[in-house]
Copies of this chain bind each other. A is one copy, B any other.
Amino acid sequence: MKSVKAFAPATVANVSCGFDILGFAIEGMGDWVRLEEKDSPGLEVVSITGDEGKLPKEVEKNTCSVAIQAMLDHLNVEIGMAIHLEKGLPLGSGMGSSAASAAAALVAANEFLGNPFEKKELLPFAIAAEKAACGAGHADNVAPSLMGGFVLIRDYHPLDVIKLHVPKGLYCTLLHPHFELKTADSRSVLRDSIPLKHSTIQSGNVAGLVAGLYEEDFDLISRSLRDVIAEPYRSILIPGFNEVREAVKAKGALGMGISGSGPTLFCLSKGEEKAQAIADAAEEVYQSIGLGVDVFFSAINTRGGYIIE
C-alpha cells in the first residue's frame, strides 16, 4: 500500500518589525502527516494525535484535508487518501500550528502524486487551508513552513513571496508560556489607523532587518528588531513580557518579540550557546512569576517541509 510521510516545521510570523509580512521556520519542531492510499476515492482524516481531541476530523474543516482538497481540485484529480496527523505543535500558541499541518499535508500529497508542483506553487492551497482554520488567509506562517528560511510576503494580490538570505549562525529560542491568548483578542487590540510617523519607523526597521540578513550584520539585525505597531498593544496581554525581555537581552538576544499573535515569544541570537543561555534565563523568569513555560531553541530551518518516509 502506497504511503508517504512528511514533516513541516514550526514558524514565527511577524518577526517584530515584519508585522504581517515576514516569517521564518524553526528546525526540529513541527507536525507530521502520513498519507495512505485508500480504495474508495475521497479524503478521510483517519487519526489525529497530540491535539487532545480538539481538532476537527471533518474533511471540510480539517486543515490537512482542506489543503489537499484545494490541490486536488486544482489538478482536477479524484483520488482516495487516508490522512494521519501527528501534532508536534501546541494549538493556538503562535507557532504556526495550523500552518505546519497544512504544509506537511501538502508536501506529502505532492510526493504522493509524483511532485506535480514546486514547493512555492503549493502556497495557494496552504493559504486556503489557513483561511479555513483561522478565518484569514495569511501566508506568513505557511510560506516559511513550506519553503523554509526567512520569507517575505511582499503582496497577496497577486501573491509575491520572496525567500531572503539567512546568515549562518542565526538561532531562535522559542518561549511558550502555559496560558491561552486567543488570536481574536490579540488582533482586537490593534488600531485600524496609525500615525504616519510609526509607519515610517516600522519601514525603516524592516528595511534594516532585510539589509542585516543579507549583510550578515547581526548588530544591524538587532537594532532593527523593533515593532512600534503591534507589540506596544499586544505585549500588555502577555504576562512577564518586559521581565523576560530584560533577561534575554542581558544574555545576548539580538531581539525578542511576539511570535505570530502570541503568547509564544521568540528570541534571535548569534550561535547555539547564546540560544541556550537565553532559554535558561527566560525559564528562570517564568518560574519566578509562577508561570509554566516550554522552551526550545534551534537554528533557522532553511529547507521547509520535507518527506521523511
Contacts and interface: CB of A to CB of B under 8 A. Distances in A.
B208 A207 contact: no
A112 to B, nearest CB: 33
Interface string A162-199: 10110000000000000000000000001111111011
Interface in A189-232: 190-196, 198-211, 214, 220, 223-224, 229
A208 B229 CA distance: 19
Contacts of A68: none
A61 interface: no
Copies in the complex: 2
Contacts of A201: 155
A103 interface: no
A120 interface: no
Given A190-B196, A193-B193, A207 B204 contact: no
A contact residues, range: 35 or more
Given A160-B223, A211-B210, A223-B160, A154 B204 contact: yes
Contacts of A108: none
B152 A208 contact: yes
Contact of A229 (B20, B160, B196, B223): B196
Contact of A196 (B21, B191, B211): B191
Contact of A198 (B199, B210, B224): B199
Contacts of A18: 203, 207
A128 interface: no
B196 A195 contact: no
Given A165-B214, A190-B196, A196-B190, A206 B208 contact: no
Given A202-B203, A210-B210, 12 more contacts: A18-B203, A21-B204, A152-B207, A154-B204, A154-B205, A154-B208, A154-B220, A155-B205, A194-B199, A203-B206, A207-B207, A207-B210
13 contacts: A21-B203, A22-B207, A152-B204, A154-B204, A154-B224, A155-B223, A193-B193, A196-B229, A198-B199, A199-B199, A199-B229, A202-B203, A206-B206
* Closest A-B pairs by Cβ, 8 of them: A199-B199, A214-B214, A154-B208, A210-B210, A21-B204, A154-B204, A20-B200, A203-B206
